[in-house]
Structure 1
Amino acid sequence: MSETRRDDEAPGILSAELLLRPGRSGNAFEETMQRLLQSIRLGLIAPGGRLPAERELASMQGVSRDTVRDAIAALTEAGYLTSRRGRYGGTFVMDELPDDAPPSDAASAPDARRAIPSAEIEDTLILRSILEVGAAREAAQCKLSGSDRERLWQAFEDCRGAAPTDYRRQDSRLHLLIAELVGAPSLLPLVAESRMRVNELLNGIPLLAVNIAHSDEQHERIVKSILRGHPEEAAQAMAEHVAGSEALLRGFLA
């Protein structure tokens, strides 16, 4: 269970820094690419957002500046990043991501995506349930600082108020924040990777208004249970939320 953070140490609602941490593999370039791409595709660095400076990124990930520079160059070539010169220059996420990135438009044709085997779907859903239900339970047991409580509620509000085209990005940020609040450094990358897989499935089904309304109600129960410090209630609310998503995915993709 995590210790209480001081308010002046709390980051924004959810920072890309959470995923841009030193890796464990010996393949620095590929892992740097993976972490940057996860941060972009999960919306931790939004379209048009500026990346930290190369020196800062290198420090975050425990790699050389040359490795960061190579990773940025590769993602620029792939159409994810762009560089700007001048006083307000730097490296920025493209306003429109490449076609191979998960589309935010719910009207995108599902048959334009790769066919996902049933076994892979089941594996993704089971892993998500284990990670996110457990994360909600643990988060409710944490002694959250005042700023952490504000971040959690604001993430919920941002999700509830999101336009349909931005809903899944805000949804991902809320779920990742719940995992971050647990304070276990190894948990967030696992939830992030799981969320990437879940989003690939979600992008293959319509985003319906009635489902958004149900999801908002479930999110509110989850967040309030965590803020009240009721772990089993939080776990149950998350389990019901995950089960609802699973039912939709199985219905559309099975």
Structure 2
Amino acid sequence: MAGADEALFRPVRAGNAFEETVERLLQSIRLGVVGAGERLPPERELAERLGVSRMTLREAIRTLADAGYVESRRGRYGGTFVHSTLPAPAADDRRPELEDTLSLRYVLETGAAELAARRCPARDQLAAALAEATAADLADYRRRDSRLHLAIAEVAGSASLTSAVADVRMRVNRLLDEIPLLEPNLDHSNTQHELIVTAILDGDPPAARHAMAEHLAGTAALLRAFLT
């Protein structure tokens, strides 16, 4: 499957390197490009082909190891091997539900970020929500993250938009509850949150929209990786 190998192990986008690396590796396993019991390409080669640092690659491999997809072996014939028995896939095809949710979220939340930047922003409200999300531990992260996204929608000044964002966030959270919380992703999300809020407070609608789109793409990559 040389063609599939080349297609999957191509450079990822710089904006969400960790999340897209996880997605590419899981795709290669689930599609059988790297079969059960087989070894992934050597770390140096794989990092070069994906266009990521070896640290990012190692974090992605550690994530898949924790989720039961791969194992690392030491020694002369060591490397990263796909488990002979993989986690059971979801009983139902989640793609229609997932793609519908992600599409709706993209339209609503990029629009909310753009509108928030066009208005006179509630600095204290956004700064407090950002600080809470940044300081949250793993157990409380999703709640604080949701509050920040809702705060952005509220600053946009439309009650209907805020309600719609709350509804889609409930759908997203139900999907997120089915995948592991990954510290590299949370650290990256915090960095992206700061970029989003800074663009809003600077009154820069295009930058706010772009920063939110990048942030949503990272979450989408992880959800697609684990749920489809």
TM band (smaller chain): 0.5 to 0.7
1:22-59 CA-to-partner distances (Å, cap 9, x unmatched) read: xxxxxxxxxxxxxxxxxxxxxxxxxxxxxxxxxxxxxx
In structure 1, the gaps of 5 or more residues are 1-106
Aligned to 2:213: 239
Aligned to 1:218: 192
Q: TM-score, normalised by structure 2?
A: 0.60
Aligned to 1:124: 101
Mapping of residues 30-49 of structure 1, within 5 Å? none
- For the 8 Å contact 2:153–2:165, the answer to whether it is kept is yes
Aligned to 1:189: 163
What CA distance in whole angstroms lies between the structure 1 residues aligned with 2:124 and 2:139?
25
Aligned to 1:204: 178
Give how far 1:118 is off.
1.2
What CA distance in whole angstroms lies between the structure 2 residues aligned with 1:116 and 1:180?
34
**What is the aligned-residue identity percentage?**
53
Q: Which has the higher helix share?
A: 2
Q: TM-score, normalised by structure 1?
A: 0.54
Q: Structure 2 residue aligned with 1:134, among 111, 114, 135?
A: 111
What CA distance in whole angstroms lies between the structure 1 residues aligned with 2:183 and 2:102?
22
Aligned to 1:24: none
What CA distance in whole angstroms lies between the structure 2 residues aligned with 1:224 and 1:248?
25
Amino acid at match of 2:116: A
State the secondary structure of the residue aligned to 2:159: coil
User: Structure 1 residues 115, 193: closer, same or farther in 2, change over 3 A?
Assistant: farther
What CA distance in whole angstroms lies between the structure 2 residues aligned with 1:114 and 1:183?
41
User: Structure 1 residues 204, 189: closer, same or farther in 2, change over 3 A?
Assistant: same
What CA distance in whole angstroms lies between the structure 2 residues aligned with 1:117 and 1:236?
27
Q: Structure 2 residue aligned with 1:151, among 125, 131, 135?
A: 125
Amino acid at match of 1:168: R
What CA distance in whole angstroms lies between the structure 1 residues aligned with 2:95 and 2:218?
18
Amino acid at match of 2:105: R
What CA distance in whole angstroms lies between the structure 2 residues aligned with 1:172 and 1:116?
26
What CA distance in whole angstroms lies between the structure 2 residues aligned with 1:174 and 1:115?
32
Amino acid at match of 1:164: L
Amino acid at match of 2:173: N
Give how far 1:178 is off.
0.4
Provide the aligned C-alpha RMSD in A: 1.9
Paired positions, count: 142
Amino acid at match of 1:154: A
Large movers: runs of 4+ above 6 Å = none
- For the 8 Å contact 2:115–2:156, the answer to whether it is kept is yes
Amino acid at match of 2:109: E
User: Structure 1 residues 171, 114: closer, same or farther in 2, change over 3 A?
Assistant: farther
In structure 2, the gaps of 5 or more residues are 1-66, 68-86
